[in-house]
Amino acid sequence: MSTTVLSLVSQLSNQEVVARVKLLAQRERDATATLIAHLAVLDERQLYLAEGCASMFTYCVQVLHLSEYAAYSRIEAARAVRKYPVILDMLGDGSVNLTTVGLLAPDLTPENHTGLLEAVRHKSKRQVQELVAQLRPQLSVLSSIRRLPGRYHAAASILVPDATTGSRSIGDAGSLSFPTPALSPAVEAPLPAARRPVIAPLAPQRYKVQFTANAETHAKLLQAQELLRSQIPDGDVGEILDRALTALLNDLTKRKFAATDRPRGSDTDRPRSSRGTVHASRHIPAEVKRRVWARDGGQCAFVASNGRRCTERAFLEFHHVIPHSAGGEATAENIQLRCRAHNGFEAEMVFGRRSPGCCVH
């Protein structure tokens, strides 16, 4: 299809190409405004839940197949439009675009939105950023000159002070950096601005992980390197973190889902029905939790009417398929994993909408 369209466009005259580009650009703006209006209503009604998605973002990325950035910008615009519908008209006529709305949305109020939106009409991103800087002035950035770190052995994981940067680095195996006190006692350097952690793929099955650690975490890592020297001679930070995360996940799954390789006997001290559940109790036996966790694969088991299963693995809760209040028992057949959003959604389907403010987003 793309080859056919390109072939047809190539046969147009210069004037026709220019005219059609203008028309198509307007149609794109109209389509964007229409999409934003629909997303605003879909978000307000939380219709994404019935489609098997725990959040609006998941719906936009996994169902609408928008990029993460496109999803974020459109959701942000949709929520701004719900508060200030005039934005929709401005998106349609090209007075503002999604980037402008995203930059300005946090500063809009019922009192100032008319004036601010008028001030950014047809303004560039740089001009809008300058206006936002006036609304939210920030502290000046100190001038600095720093030498880039030199090359080091890829297998090294030894903490080495750097007199120029005032930091100590761990070798390439860990790709971590920890701030240390300034070497000169006369001047106390300001703390660096917070940066978002980085997790980026480098190659198949290999990732770069970078974050800032506080002094306590730094000390724990040093101690772990020392204690594991006999097993990890080079002190590979990646290997140490892998072991630490494995232990943490084992502990978390045991606490939350009673997962264990060697389950103890069931709660025999509790009175049970013939089906092995506790009479008149919401208590879910550890044995049932283990079976449910294994069966559902640690993932929300909600399935939409279109057959799509929710992909969430965070904020998981145990859900009674037949509600406990309706006689549903805590058996593996009646218990499933649900993310918090879908657990609440199904509760609303049975008991009605909750009072405002209790819905978890």
What pLDDT digit, counting tens, does each position of 183-240 carry? Answer: 333 333 444 444 566 777 777 777 788 888 888 998 999 899 889 988 998 888 889 9
pTM for the model stands at 0.67
Residue corresponding to tokens 């001290």: 269
pLDDT for residue 166: 39
pLDDT of residue 26: 95
For the chain, percent of residues with pLDDT exceeding 70: 74
Q: How far is 288 from 333, CA to CA, in rounded Å?
A: 9
Query: Regarding predicted confidence, which is higher, 281 or 64?
Result: 64
Residue 355, classed as helix, strand or coil, is coil
Burial class (CB in 10 A: 0-12, 13-18, 19+), 4: exposed
Q: What is the pLDDT of residues 82-107, one digit of tens each?
A: 999 999 999 999 999 999 999 999 99
According to the model, what pLDDT value does residue 211 have? 81
Tokens 């975490």 -> residue: 217
Pick the range with the lowest mean pLDDT from 265-279, 287-301, 322-336: 265-279
Residue 181: what pLDDT? 36
* CA–CA gap between residue 343 and residue 332 (Å, rounded): 17
Burial code (b: 16+ CB inside 10 Å, e: under 16) for 91-101 equals bbebbbbbebb
358 neighbors 318 (Cβ within 8 angstroms):
no
CA 221 to CA 241: how far, in whole Å?
9
Band (pLDDT 50/70/90 cuts) for residue 177 is very low
